[in-house]
Amino acid sequence: MINLNKNIVMEIKDISKIYGLKGVKVNALKNINLSLHNGEVVIIMGPSGAGKTTLLSIMGLLLHPTEGTIKFGDTIFDKDSKQSELTKIRRNSIGFIFQTFNLIKSLNVLENLELMAKISKGNNNGYRDRCISMLELLNMGQRLKHKPKHLSGGEMQRVSIARALINEPQVILADEPTGNLDSENGHIIGEYFKKIARERGTTILCATHDKRLEFCADRIIHIEDGSLMN
Amino acid sequence: MVNLTLKDLINDKKKFILVCLGLTTSILLVLFGVGMLNGTLNEATNIIENSSADAWITQENRGNALYGSYISGDLCDNVTNSLETDNVYVEKLIYVGGVVDHGNDFTTLQMVGINVSSKLLKPWDVVSGDVTDLNTPFTALIDESFKNSLPGVKIDDEIVINGVNIRVIGFCRNNKFFISSYAWMSLETAQIINNMGNGTSFLLVKYKSGSGYNLNQLKTDLNEIENVDIFSKTQISANTRDYMLYESGAGIGVGIMVVMGLFVSLIIIFLTMYSNVNEKTPEFGTLKAVGASKSFLYKMLMGQVGLLMTLSYIFGTILTYVIGFYISDITTMPIQLNLYLIIVFYCISLLVGIFAILIAIRKVNKIDPIIVFKS
């Protein structure tokens, strides 16, 4: 159940996305309306090609919608928003978790997190300590100096979660976060999502096929043929 | 704090070393060419720069020190008779090429015939012997580099210059032009060896202090004299350098060598950085997705090029000095670099590097961060 007392952190209105592929127009999203509240875990489920990734991309400000608006805090974005403005919001307010982890191979675990300090251009005082604490919280304290190639899938995904969390974003977007993990590690990731949302008030929007993650969701949204089902 | 620029660059150590080696070789080519041209230009004008003459009189249309100038004895007399001795001091200088016969082979040399008590030009860096001994006919004070073609040659030995036996009375150092060492001798000895009669190659003119004499007055006083040209020291030095740079082919040859070196650097940087961006497209996409600005990515790429070029440039400079020193020692070929040239060509190399990554930067610009969701 949605706690209506919680603040809305992100709201999309009448979002449509049309791709033009070799002269053929594909309606990837049709008139989508969705609000994300503070501290909730929302799971988007749907078959391949339903529009999950497109929705996640638009809500992650990686893709301009064809129509509609995205309200993030007090700022409204639409099809004409400047890329630099979107980049700034992504840098400071959105964390990403990817199916393939996307860690920087030349950096070790700790450096992958420290890199976010350089990118965020914020106050770096005590950043290293914060990175270490975050990694310890995700049981990666013993692997700080390991490079990604020396980590298991579950460990890489935990580093990926730590990276998404380190700048304390309001929203975390996760795309098939358990897609490359076994069931035990998949469950652990779900537990982390619940914990992060409850303890930090971070909103998590997760696109997945994985029904094992349903246990951690406050809301499950189904998408099919570019439209939300409920 | 983490340095992604450096970590990413040295992550593949074998590739990093190979790229540095390639760049070092191309920079060696560049600096070697620049050093050789600079050395040649310096040596081409050393006879001018080491003289205290204010003006040089040459045969007509022979306006640099490297052209074969000849002023006959009569013409010399006409010139000196047209000038007031209260205003100027005039000396003859013979500066002509020749050959040293050492058995089965010949090597080139440059004969410098001077008034032994000259006020305007003397051998510099004399390491042994007495210049006044040149007053003895058929003697020469020669550059140490003669020891490459005449191993073991020492004072009082006789060498054969243009078929004439000449006794060595001393040695000097760095008195040479390119691969031709200087043999200093009296004016009279040089005139005999070169069948010049009482003539000379150049007339050196020194304005007497307090006379207020200058180049324009010199030209006015010699207005009636035909078949000679008059130059200030600066002019003839510039003419000689220009001749080496533009007419002799040395400038073009070395210029091509330098451009080739820079072009190879450009290609190496282009291929390295472009393939790097291609291989790491998902990483660049991730950096963009998590909020890395364009300037962050540009700085990273430029930082990598800067590091590559700087490291390679340092190695290239050291190698140029080591190889240059060795080659100069065994061939007398001049390779001279100075701080100014090193800095100028470092800046040029950096610009070439930055130019070479423009396409890689364009490629990074085109990477759509949405690829992070396309596993």
Residue-wise pLDDT for B158-199, tens only, equals: 999 999 999 999 999 999 988 889 999 999 999 999 999 999
Residue-wise pLDDT for B291-348, tens only, equals: 999 999 999 999 999 999 999 999 999 999 999 888 877 777 888 899 999 999 999 9
Q: Are B332 and B31 within 8 A, CB to CB? A: no
First to last CA, chain A: 13
List the Cα angle B205/B207/B212 in 5-degree steps: 150
Interatomic CA distance for residues B169 and B130, integer angstroms: 7
Q: What is residue A1's predicted lDDT score, i.e. its pLDDT? A: 41
User: Encoding tokens for residue A171?
Assistant: 């929203």
CB contact under 8 A, B293 and A91: yes
In this structure, is residue A162 part of a structural domain? Answer: no
Of A53, A96, A106, the CB nearest to B289: A96
Residue-wise pLDDT for B58-110, tens only, equals: 999 888 888 888 999 999 999 999 998 888 999 999 999 999 987 778 889 99
Q: What is residue A4's predicted lDDT score, i.e. its pLDDT? A: 47
* pTM for the predicted model, two decimal places: 0.81
Of A99, A118, A128, the CB nearest to B375: A99
Q: What is residue A6's predicted lDDT score, i.e. its pLDDT? A: 65
In this structure, is residue A200 part of a structural domain? Answer: yes
Mean pLDDT check: name the lowest of A100-104, A188-192, B90-94, B147-151: B147-151
Residue-wise pLDDT for B259-276, tens only, equals: 999 999 999 999 999 999
In this structure, is residue A160 part of a structural domain? Answer: no
Interatomic CA distance for residues A65 and A54, integer angstroms: 9
In this structure, is residue A118 part of a structural domain? Answer: no
In this structure, is residue A130 part of a structural domain? Answer: no
Model confidence at A123, pLDDT cuts 50, 70, 90, reads low
Under DSSP, the state recorded for B246 is I
Interatomic CA distance for residues A69 and A59, integer angstroms: 10
B283 CB within 8 Å of a chain A CB:
yes
Residue-wise pLDDT for A90-122, tens only, equals: 998 999 998 888 999 999 999 999 998 888 876
Residue-wise pLDDT for A51-93, tens only, equals: 999 999 999 999 999 999 999 988 999 999 998 899 999 998 9
- ipTM of this complex prediction, to 2 decimal places: 0.89
* Contact residues on chain A for B1, CB-CB shorter than 8 A: 114, 117-118, 124, 127-128
Interatomic CA distance for residues B110 and A180, integer angstroms: 80
CB contact under 8 A, B293 and A84: yes
Across chain B, mean pLDDT equals 92
Q: What is residue B56's predicted lDDT score, i.e. its pLDDT? A: 96
CATH number at residue A52: 3.40.50.300
Burial A175-208 (b: 16+ CB within 10 A, else e): bbbbbbbeeebbbbbbebbeebbeeeebbbbbbb
Q: What is residue A3's predicted lDDT score, i.e. its pLDDT? A: 47
What is the number of domains present in chain A?
1
Residue-wise pLDDT for B211-270, tens only, equals: 889 999 999 999 999 999 999 999 999 999 999 999 888 888 888 999 999 999 999 999
Q: Which of B293, B307, B298, B309 is nearest to B363 (CA)?
A: B298
| Domain, as residue range, for A184 | 8-103+168-228
Report the chain A residue with the minimal C-alpha distance to residue B367.
A62
Report the chain A residue with the minimal C-alpha distance to residue B286.
A102
In this structure, chain A runs to a length of 230
